[in-house]
Structure 1
């Protein structure tokens, strides 16, 4: 027998050292590595030589004895000659199969043939026949993610109170279950064709290509969204590649790595469509969709949730951007289902596992708040619902400077988006509360938000400031640039609701100030993106950026078009806006090969420029038209784009003396034109549908 193909025994008890000291042990999670306690002790040896004593709950024994005696009595009435081979049901406990530790001899294979478990299989069979629950130690160790979270408002508290009155246990309450009502595998029997297939080695393709894609993922995606730990992930690939949870993560890692392959590398492109780069990795995406868990039928593990997160990230730049929101919502719902947002729920000793959970929930939060901002939707989970600590590189023992900088970047981004979440709840809230009373926002509220934003910028770690960066490391430069872009985008979200009314000729100091702030922020965004996209080669594309950062050029260009239209309305044309609008078009043109939404955004912007008659450089516009014809643009968008983008303004200097307490709702412009402008964004995300 080839012993290399046989799994080593699972460990489901504390190591000898922790048992002797009577301290909690995380050996089952870290095995075959040392447990956390032994790893920090130079004199301790993490072994599992001495057999564990099996303690059986007295209530469990009494239930078994009573049930067995009743069954014996009934059986003797049917078969009077029936005799048991034991004198008392007490023998149940003594007939347990003894646990024998595996041999330490490397020449003996018998210890590796069958996983050894201290479970009493005879008792399991009896308990199953009698209708009792029996949860093994192994289940408790390996299925920790399978526990569902029920909060304080659930019936959990009421059930717990019963124990105070009569000492009832969960096992007592669940001891008489009718199988027909407690089965959860009906689909396997009734709809077997819907069963998800298992992963096979062929799904991951050539092994050398797979590892190349994994490397690109950690270089270009994980560096700006450090969901996974590189060393541990690479170590798990050979032994866990075909597991559904880990395999789903790996297949999506390959899909995301494909989006950053060189443009001339055809191995990850679709045959016959090698010129369409945003289809890169679509094969891996299709396999993942077919083999990931069904979120409506399964309790997710941490890795299942990570896989859904990566699926959303891929969808953002790929051919199905409209599916990203649904994939993200699935991930958020599944994470709440297992209590990923509550640090007190899991009770996990292994610090690395706790860190993996922290990173996952905060990465989900980032996507949640940026999607809410970009789509104008409600957040699924706000920062007020999460009590997990922020990520830290120390918990993984990272000593690599870029890894530590990556985690520091993630923490800074979380802090920025906590503020954005607050902005969405205040500036973009309903105008009435639950009682029907008007909610009033004052200029002082806006000033407080702006002050918090500046405070965030001033408190950025020195090594994340764009002013202190060098051009030595491309990824580090991009991370620092992303934070500055994020600052300007959040600033735009604070003020863009207060831009001038395109149908009014009355000048409002606060509206004008808001336009100046948004216009200056937009120019800063385009300047930074120019350095990132146009002034650098980036043969593998730029690092991953969330939807808010990725869409920043589109938003900035729209704001500058508004600014030019307002200045033209007031006969104070600012040609400087046109230069930045042209730069925004060039940046989107450069990115559209890899990012589908950039191509769609570009088509929309060019049509807006035509209908608004913006006097851009004729040679530049001619080049854009030729490029459009080359790529076979199919028809025009709605010709009424000038209704929304009519006439707005900008002043050269930004005013700051607006801290008087004024009701802003009274000056918010109403842009109701009788048209449903949601159709424009709907078409952008749905394509031709």
Structure 2
């Protein structure tokens, strides 16, 4: 997402010791560290915890941030808070991400980012566009939190009035595709908001509103999803490199995920011994086909292409979990009907392997695997060693199944597993205390030393040039 203008960002480097821009710089460095293989960016002794890379820069940024309970926020503060939640949701403080997003939305509304007539009417194209992009990214994150974790919508479409993001003369040519992609995602998020309002709202809280859901409502929403995919800005013929390939893949994932969100409530419920209606059967078929497509697309990125940098909000990145769960339901339903689809087991295993492939950089994927493994174990045929292998991977990590082991091998002494887990969690609590005086870097001065400044400049340049590996 083009939150920052790259050329403007580079020009602001002399301001790196000023609090507003310095905070942004540290968070850009923290996010960049997540995609680097340089072990110097990891916590010493915990190099395998990729989701904690860049923690040093993150800690400096948190130190620089004011107390927003007492202070107002400017545009750079909003940008820094957006970057902050992008970093913490990967595993540092996962649950804090939604709280930070809610705070950022309130601060943004306070300075009028959601209303175009409150934006300054001057010739600074970069700032005017930056204000729009900041708000729309908050909008996307809000929709993502709702779709993935069931959070209430904080931004209502009828409470904002803002044009979509635009390509300006100040934008680098290589950022045009990302701006178009961002507009496509905004549009599908708007459709998601309509689905949430129609299907997932609290009925009793809408006094006087007709709560009857008709088939025409489902058909209308489905037509909007199909119209969106047919009119997106990035098509197959626009794929020129890995970035545009991933944008196109994300668009397809968003399309299939929207189908899941729309039809998921109408799938047959395994707990109910009632006859299955034709609409329930059709909903299961639609969700199953969408889930197969999601697993194929995402596994191609992770397992086949070995894409190290997956640029996706959680509404897209979390969909392999839902897809795998739906394939489990599809397999169970086929077994109940006496027409077992064994090929669904291959999709289930691929979905788990896909989540496993990226869990080292996002702790939520490890938790997703932990949820799925006991369920899959109950449905696999006797003698299938898939679950046993996956559990060995989980228990071979330095803590209890949230980070993938690089090399699969049995621990020499299984009796030490619990002791190692306890030791790790004690260390993690020390690492993640918000008070930096008690953190892993407690003995460090948080001013940027010359040697760290050189490393920082090299990393920023390589990251912006697309060479960070």
TM-score range, shorter chain: 0.7 to 0.9
2:382 and 2:301 map into 1 onto residues whose CA distance is: 23
Greater shift in the superposed pair: 561-570 or 582-591: 561-570
Counterpart in the other structure of 2:91: 318
Q: Secondary structure at the match of 1:298?
A: coil
Tell whether the 8 Å contact from 2:6 to 2:172 is kept in structure 1 after alignment.
Answer: no
Alpha-carbon separation, structure 2, partners of 1:632 and 1:352:
46
- The alpha-carbon deviation at position 247 of structure 1 amounts to 1.2
Matched residue, 1:20: none
Residues 303-312 or 366-375, more deviating: 366-375
In structure 2, the residue corresponding to 1:432 is in which secondary structure? helix
Aligned-residue offset at 1:530: 1.3
Q: Please say if residues 256 and 314 of structure 1, whose CA atoms lie closer than 8 Å, have aligned partners that are also in contact.
A: yes
Aligned match for 1:602, one of 346, 365, 369: 369
1:353 to 95, 105, 127: 127
Number of aligned residue pairs = 401
Distance in 1 separating the partners of 2:382 and 2:294: 20
Cα contact 1:365–1:383 (8 A) shared by 2: no
The DSSP-based 3-state class of the residue aligned with 2:204 is: coil
Question: Does the Cα contact within 8 Å between 1:365 and 1:382 map onto a contact in 2?
Answer: no
**Aligned with residue 379 of structure 1, among 133, 150, 153:** 153
Cross-structure match for 2:321: 554
1:575 matched to 2:342 = yes
1:544 aligns with 2:311: yes
| Contact 1:475 1:543 survives alignment (8 Å) | no
Instruction: Report the Cα offset of residue 399 of structure 1.
Output: 5.3
Report the Cα offset of residue 383 of structure 1: 2.6
Where does residue 275 of structure 2 map in the other structure? 506
CA distance in 2, matches of 1:447, 1:483: 21
Deviation at 1:555, TM superposition (A): 0.8
8 A contact 2:394–2:400 mirrored in 1: no
Question: How many angstroms does 1:437 deviate by?
Answer: 6.2
Distance 2:9 2:398 in 1: 43
| Length-normalised TM-score, structure 2 | 0.82
Distance 1:295-1:592 versus aligned 2 partners, 3 A rule: same
CA contact (8 A) 1:525 1:553 kept: yes
Superposed counterparts of 1:116-135, under 5 Å: none
**Match of 1:446?**
218
RMSD: 1.9
TM-score of the pair, normalised by structure 1: 0.56
**In structure 2, do the counterparts of structure 1 residues 348 and 562 end up closer, same or farther at CA, with 3 Å as the change threshold?**
same
| Aligned position for 2:263 | 495
Which is richer in helix? 2
CA distance in 2, matches of 1:550, 1:635: 19
CA apart distance, 1:632: 5.6
In our comparison, the structure showing a higher alpha carbon Rg is 1
- In 2, the alpha carbon distance for the partners of 1:341 and 1:369 equals 15
Cα distance in 2 for residues equivalent to 1:616 and 1:303? 57
CA distance 1:578–1:286, shift in 2 (3 Å)? same
Distance in 1 (CA, whole Å) between partners of 2:303 and 2:90 is 19
1:237-287 Cα offsets, whole Å, 9 max, x none, are: 12x11222111111110110011002xx11110011112111101111122
The gaps in structure 2 that reach 5 residues or longer are: 403-428, 430-469
Q: Are the counterparts in 1 of residues 5 and 171 from structure 2 also a CA contact under 8 Å?
A: no
